[in-house]
Structure 1
């Protein structure tokens, strides 16, 4: 009787083990991705849709896009393994790297991210230089935004302007398109944002450039990337990187995805590219 009970328990444990392994294998058939909400939710969803379909075909697995409410949530979801792949700005990558103890790996970036820039815009004819921002209401994007806050703040500090002391009011719009809207509506006298979003709005005639204009452009810096957790199996990591590197504007699919991502092409990247971003964040007291 005891022998039969032992055999039954052994079989139960084996079945349970196979069920557990089966469930784990099934769970690995879904790649979960997210992105910092640097634009409106509808725009992020529009950009994600063709990329999701492309990655599903390249990886042979289901891909799901999971939106997040803010930049901090994008960092937390990756380092807590709630998503597998995240679109970060340079600063959010640095935050994720620091928070995870270096366990976040930047895979690829757009070619444009090797020399990214921010712009300061205004509809106020009296504002012509950064010094003219003294005593004004100025909007940044999200507080954890590289191009919408950190690098513009770093440039201002380098020019001898402390936003928290020299501006009448510092606002945070939450996203680049919202900064443009705030300046255009006269809610603030100036704003700082991602040059790529500004150029997109100009090209699509979503902003009246007779009223709203760029009056300062920052020096270039490294910015956005697609990052993964170091826990991701190397084979999947390499397959994922190759999928991005294979995107080509000469194909209809590649053209659609790259244009939505505002990219010429994707290129490999590495943690060292973001050392200057980390230094700027520490210098500005944001890290």
Structure 2
């Protein structure tokens, strides 16, 4: 009997080990880098801890270097959940059929872009998009940003009937909203467009001097940031897992956690709510 048991044991142990490894698969998420990487890591590690507690699985946050990298990580299954902007979310869901938007911030249903100007331009607060801006220098945020590129370009083309590089003497891409604010505040660019929540946060933090830079126009509202999840998470983490993730996000009420986004709370959303973003992306030929 003992002899027989010793022959079986080496087989049973590896099987048990493999089963344990499979059960320990971490649930991984990322976020578009709308601020510098250090701040992102600080913001989202506590969100990872919250989700781990709610979902009873290991949850990891992994930062990425660009909006495009966030979409690629989602497509390649390096992450199963992502905090995307409107455009990057549309791109990700088109690359991973069946994936779905779960939740958006309360503020994301009616998001805005602020156009800002350095004091040297002579443009006054609330001046709007007008011909006085022609031949000035202008910076967007990231090339893949909804509030820092897609929608600002949409409104610029609507106002001027021309592409931005035909309106301005130089057009740049800062990479993120915080950098757009600092570049315009320093005078490195005369004009810029950025996410309104970043502007408000930078003001509150005392990082901007409104004598040097001011808001000259606020866009009409549009849908923006959202959480998007891959279609195969139920197979990997258990039936109904995607719905559990959605509920955990909707139940997030701790002000310290919500400040990570920053949002006042989350509400349900679906893919159809971002149809306008998809259409504008197609019109400007920047959906890919």
TM-score above 0.5: yes
1:121-162 deviation per Cα after TM superposition (whole angstroms, max 9, x unaligned): 011343333222211110000000000000000001111242
2:181 equivalent in structure 1: 180
Residue pairs, 1:30-179, within 5 angstroms: 30-100=26-96, 102-123=97-118, 124-127=120-123, 128-131=127-130, 132-159=132-159, 160-179=161-180
Q: Which region of structure 1 is more displaced relative to structure 2, 77-86 or 212-221?
A: 77-86
Q: Which moved more, 1:50-59 or 1:276-285?
A: 50-59
Q: Which residue of 1 aligns with 2:277?
A: 277
CA deviation after TM superposition for structure 1 residue 40, in Å: 1.0
Q: Give 3-state SS (helix, strand or coil) of 1:22's partner.
A: helix
Aligned equivalents of 2:128, 2:251: Cα separation in 1: 42
1:207 aligns with: 208
Partner of 1:242: 247
Q: Say whether the 8 Å CA contact 1:120–1:214 is kept in structure 2.
A: yes
- In 1, Cα distance between the equivalents of 2:177 and 2:102? 24
Contact 2:111 2:224 in 1 (8 A): yes
Gaps of 5+ in 2: 1-6
What is the match of residue 219 of structure 2?
A: 218
Is 2:20 aligned against 1:22? yes
Decide whether the 8 Å contact of 1:85 with 1:227 is kept in 2: yes
Deviation sequence 1:68-95 (CA, Å, 0-9, x none): 1111110011121111211100000011
TM-score (norm 2): 0.89
User: 1:14 offset after TM fit, Å?
Assistant: 7.3
8 Å contact from structure 1 (residues 79, 104) kept in 2: no
Please give the alpha-carbon distance, in whole angstroms, between the structure 2 residues aligned to 1:97 and 1:83: 13
- Residue 226 of structure 1 deviates from its aligned partner by 0.9
Post-superposition shift, 1:238?
1.3
Residue 33 of structure 1 and its aligned partner are, at CA, apart by: 1.2
Gaps of 5+ in 1: 1-7, 249-253
How many Å separate the matches in 2 of 1:105 and 1:14?
Answer: 40
**Offset at residue 16 of structure 1 (A):** 5.8
Residue 233 of structure 2: SS of its match in structure 1? coil
| Matched length | 271
Match of 2:261 in 1: 261
Conserved in 1, the CA contact under 8 Å of 2:55 and 2:245?
A: yes
Structure 1 CA distance, aligned partners of 2:11 and 2:149?
Answer: 55
In 2, distance between residues paired with 1:103 and 1:69? 26
Structure 1 position 21, deviation (Å): 3.6
Secondary structure, counterpart of 1:191 in structure 2 = strand
CA–CA separation in structure 2 for the residues paired with 1:14 and 1:161: 70
The answer to which of 68-77 and 57-66 deviates more is 57-66
Shift of the alpha carbon at 1:15? 6.5
Output the CA distance in 2 between the equivalents of 1:14 and 1:244: 40
Alpha-carbon distance, 1:260 to partner: 2.5
**How far apart in 2 are the matches of 1:221 and 1:12?**
60
TM-score scaled by length of structure 1: 0.89
> Partner of 1:206: helix, strand, or coil?
coil
Runs of 4+ in 1 over 2 A off after TM superposition: 10-23, 124-129
